[in-house]
Amino acid sequence: MAASSACWFEMAQSSCDLCVRDGGEPIVRKDKLRIVRVDDAAFPAFYRVIWNTHVCELSDLATSDRQACIEAVVTVERVLRAQLRPTKINLASLGNMVPHLHWHVIARFEWDSHFPHPVWGVAQRAVDPSPRSRLPVTLDGLDLAIRSAFD
């Protein structure tokens, strides 16, 4: 592991939510990272790339591990773009609430409730029919495409 500074909020592995829980519906499980789908009705194409070992920042990883992490994020992004043709892909690695290295990869559409604002902001509109029904593929199909990209 690369040299690291202390997290603003150190968490013991036993109390870190992403150390003790999957963090979403497991889609891909690798030795060093996992991909999960977040259960969010407003944003059904919301995935997380989660580093399995408890580290706080991308710079805490060795160069080869950083590259593997970013490649996983890019792979999920490419699948979402190919399968959904979204207006935009949002990438975020905040860690303010859970200081465990993870990336949010979220397909965004001009019709979504918050667009063009962040998914964590104030809704701009109601969405009807449901966001899930607006996707051109099922979530099972999307999950399968992501799994296939990692095989």
Query: Are 62 and 2 contacting, i.e. CB atoms less than 8 angstroms apart?
Result: yes
Please determine, for residue 15, whether its predicted confidence score (pLDDT) is greater than 90. no
Share the mean pLDDT of the chain. Answer: 92
Burial (CB count within 10 angstroms: exposed 0-12, middle 13-18, buried 19+), residue 73: buried
C-alpha 112/C-alpha 86 separation (Å) is 10
Place of tokens 């996983």: 72
Domains and CATH numbers, the chain: 13-115+126-150 (3.30.428.10)
Please determine, for residue 82, whether its predicted confidence score (pLDDT) is greater than 90. yes
Predicted confidence (pLDDT) per residue in 19-56, tens digit: 989 999 999 999 999 999 999 999 999 999 999 999 99
User: Pairing state of beta strands 102-108 and 46-51?
Assistant: antiparallel
Q: Tell me the whole-structure pTM to 2 decimals.
A: 0.91
Q: How confident is the model at residue 1 (pLDDT cuts 50, 70, 90)?
A: very low
